Structure 1
């Protein structure tokens, strides 16, 4: 069977997993890592309730469902901070895919499509651009996590909150080596540029020129912060297939320092998305990022949620 190369129609995905768990459920997530929750019964119960809300949005709208693993921090540098070695990370990355796959089977006969994606995060900080990343080093670094996803039967890998193009290129190359379709998602600042200062249109062109992913998403920025990037017209816009925006209009530095959750203005969040979608004709995946929960995503899809 040919590998899945991206959504063919409207697709629901989830919101801001970590901020939802921390601020709405009182869960302590050291290093902002949700993957350890897969290791105990209570953690799995929390995750099941979380993903169920988004599955219900898909059921209410008739859209497909993209379930993405809680493994944004499950790479070696972040894992080491939590005392997780290579074997532990391999186990939990495989388990994340298997667990979500089993969860997704409950909805497979009622939705147009249910897919499971392995989530990758950056080696460094998703808000702050560090030194330029060598693509070859990024390939070697991220390959173990991608191998785990592939071995567990993931449909694709999605790399979120990338701050520059070097790491993106490396991740795409590693995904190709293990045979996984791959999506790349960049973080944007309030001026619509990547944290390292790269113009979004240039970032897409640079990555596509040497290691094109199956598609791109944009995440961890409010729709108002994405809008400036769309002043650059061109075919590059058609490569953007998904949006996972922040609820808040605050800067990344402000969000990093915040002790209370900024859930933003739900009405503004919705209407600002409508403006973005008018400029991004290929976007079919809609979810959320920091500060969002199932209420935000449900509103984007024209339904409601009591969660």
Structure 2
């Protein structure tokens, strides 16, 4: 049930938490095998669904203790057609898995939501290719590619969709246009390199302003994910109008570059306390940042540290 699709609570202010690095947590902490970094495969079994549910509940407990809202992003970052082929899922199986992912989040909402803790159900979309390497799609090709997953999330009753680890402007535009075509709210989250720019060389300012221009500013807001705060804090020039469009961050725990992380066989979880302090600095400098979560290498410890640094006791 799309409870909040026409009235998303995170648009009204206040802090909303999100989860951490779902794939890295499941692989390195829980010892699971996720082929092609795909967490959605767990939805195929009762045991896998139970593991995912426990994963989310750890974060929901933090949100409840802190009295914040929460954006529940589905475990579907890899659940699009090219990745589905690699994993043995045809179009019908992918549609079923995306629906099942939303159903799991609805179960969590039914069990955990309170008047002071709204839970937003968001269908997560990942890049068609490697999140660390630039894709080569036009905006029209990206719209056509991502349309099926966006449409499935809308049919399943998601409140919104969110595209994560976008590293090209054209793919972001295509997803926003697909969401607009279907009539479901969307958020776009870009990833950057150590210099604060997309892998294509575009700045965050260029990425956000160009996407807005090409879509009549359809995305409700933008986020930054899959980069350490030290990689992009300097790129957020205070006072520029485009910053008012940035509502959230899901950063990496590690300060390593994407190339270094790609080659690493161990998990760099960084320093959760330092991670939290960096979020504190970001939220003080940019008060529109209200959706706070983590990406690769982060877990519940990092989110707890973010709460310590960003929320009143």
TM-score (norm 2): 0.93
Give how far 1:33 is off.
0.2
Q: What's 1:3 paired with?
A: 6
**3-state SS of paired residue (2:308):** coil
Asked if residue 124 in structure 1 is aligned to residue 125 in structure 2, the reply is no
Are residues 259 and 228 of structure 1, via their aligned partners in 2, closer, same or farther at CA, if it must alter by over 3 Å? same
Are residues 219 and 2 of structure 1, via their aligned partners in 2, closer, same or farther at CA, if it must alter by over 3 Å? closer
Q: What's 2:197 paired with?
A: 193
Asked if residue 102 in structure 1 is aligned to residue 107 in structure 2, the reply is yes
Comparing 13-22 with 170-179, greater Cα deviation is found at 170-179
Are residues 6 and 167 of structure 1, via their aligned partners in 2, closer, same or farther at CA, if it must alter by over 3 Å? farther
Matches within 5 A, 1:1-307: 3-5=6-8, 7=10, 8=12, 9-109=14-114, 111-131=116-136, 133-211=137-215, 212=217, 213-231=219-237, 233-302=239-308
Aligned residues: 302
Contact 2:16 2:69 in 1 (8 A): yes
Give how far 1:5 is off.
4.4
Gaps of 5+ in 1: none
Structure 1 stretches of 4+ with a deviation exceeding 6 A read: none
Gaps of 5+ in 2: none
How many Å separate the matches in 1 of 2:147 and 2:305? 36
Give how far 1:143 is off.
0.6
TM-score (norm 1): 0.95
